[in-house]
C-alpha cells in the first residue's frame, strides 16, 4: 500500500520536488522496514505454533 501511494504521489508532484521525494520516501520507509524485521521472529514463532502437530495422548499408561 505504501509503495502504491509513493508511486502515485511521484507521478502527481511537480518536477521541482522530485529531488526531495526520494530521500523523503526512503526516510519514511526505513522505520517501517525496521519494525517489520523486528516482528518477523514473532511471526515465524506463530506460524510454527500453528503448523506443528501436538502428539495425541494414549489411554495406555500408569494408573495413578
pTM: 0.53
| Intra-chain end-to-end CA distance of the chain, in Å | 59
pLDDT digits (tens, 9 = 90+) for 20-63: 877 888 898 899 999 999 999 999 999 999 999 876 777 666 66
What confidence tier does 14 reach under pLDDT thresholds 50, 70, 90? Answer: low
Q: Give one DSSP letter per residue of the chain, joined into a string.
A: -HHHHHHHHHHHS-GGGHHHHHHHHHHHHHHHHHHHHHHHHHHHHHHHHHHSPPPPPPS-S---
Amino acid at each position: 500500500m505504501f509503495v502504491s501511494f509513493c508511486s502515485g504521489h511521484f507521478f502527481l508532484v511537480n518536477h521541482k520536488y522530485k529531488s526531495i521525494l526520494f530521500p523523503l520516501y526512503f526516510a519514511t520507509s526505513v522505520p517501517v522496514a525496521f519494525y517489520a524485521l523486528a516482528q518477523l521472529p514473532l511471526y515465524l514463532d506463530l506460524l510454527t505454533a500453528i503448523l506443528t502437530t501436538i502428539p495425541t495422548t494414549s489411554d495406555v499408561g500408569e494408573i495413578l
